[in-house]
Amino acid sequence: MRLFVTGASGLVGRAVLRAGVAAGHQVTGLARSDQAATQVERDGGQVCRGDLRLPEVWAAEAVAEDAIIHAAATFGPDMGAVDRVAMEALVMAARDTGERPRLIYTGGIWLYGDTGGQVRDETAPFDPATPWGWMLDTVAMLDASNAVDLAVLHPGAVYDSDGGGMLARFRAPDVEILGDPAIRWPLVHADDLAQAYLLLAGLPGQGGHFLATAEPGRPVGEIARAVAAPDARIRVLDRAEALARHGNSAFGPMLDQRLAAPRLAAVGWRPAHRDFLQCL
């Protein structure tokens, strides 16, 4: 396949790029900076210079590939607006060129809200009241356009074997647990997530929503104790204090979630990392 990856120098996008190259695919990575471009080249990808905020520069190149894996985000207050403009640009470019590429759009498990202690799967309803409800509007726009062959992947809390991703917050000298140590996070290793993206990219016509969670729910207190240094100071912030200190960024980590991924398993996803403790 010929793949176009946004966010190709980030944790998830880089894992996708490297896995795609290893599998023999031709992978082009969107790179905003010289540093990102160098990283993409070192990982074996081809470079498309461009900024997520300026999709008119790269959208035509993206839709010319077999599949687009959208793994980029600004992670700032403009995240939703920038994402929407980028996806609208892809739709316009696809219509202008007559292409209909496969698009794997990244959602997120926090869209499912608190699961109330129950194990839920892709059939569970979304909670649009979450701060990321804009994603559902963007997905609806993409689906209605019929300009792309769309599937939506919702990754669990992503980590890698170096303790990066969601685990990195527990490597500081002062560790904060937001809400309650008993809150559970569904987990997925970045390398397993990359395989999920590649799997869906190679399954045209497989639409709808897919969860990518290898561990349905691990207590955050257990995660923090496993990752934190022995001399780290661990403090639990109650919900009110967490929201006051961190705003909306505290909302997701305080959701108690147990989420399984039967749809992805049904199409062949077999995560290799099912216990994060054995991966660190």
Listing DSSP states for the chain in one string gives: -EEEEETTTSHHHHHHHHHHHHTT-EEEEEESSHHHHHHHHHTTPEEEE--TT-GGGTHHHHHTSSEEEE-----STTHHHHHHHHHHHHHHHHHHHT---EEEEE--GGGG---TTSEE-TTSPP-TTSTTTHHHHHHHHHHHH-SSEEEEEEE-EEE-TTS-BGGGGGSSSEEEEES-TT-EEEEEEHHHHHHHHHHHHTSTT--SEEEE-SEEEEEHHHHHHHHS-TT-EEEEEPHHHHHHHHGGGGTGGG---EE--HHHHHTT---S---GGGT-
Is there a domain that residue 244 lies in?
A: no
Is there a domain that residue 280 lies in?
A: no
- The confidence score (pLDDT) of residue 128 equals 78
Looking up residue 65, the CATH number of its domain turns out to be 3.40.50.720
Taking 50 as the pLDDT cut, the residues of the chain under it are none
Is there a domain that residue 99 lies in?
A: yes
- The confidence score (pLDDT) of residue 213 equals 98
Is there a domain that residue 249 lies in?
A: no
What tens digit of pLDDT does each residue of 75-129 get? 989 999 999 999 999 999 999 999 999 999 999 999 999 999 999 999 999 997 7
Is there a domain that residue 134 lies in?
A: yes
Is there a domain that residue 116 lies in?
A: yes
Domain range for 142: 2-161+186-217+258-273
The number of domains in the chain is: 1
Is there a domain that residue 237 lies in?
A: no
User: What global pTM score does this model have?
Assistant: 0.97
Is there a domain that residue 250 lies in?
A: no
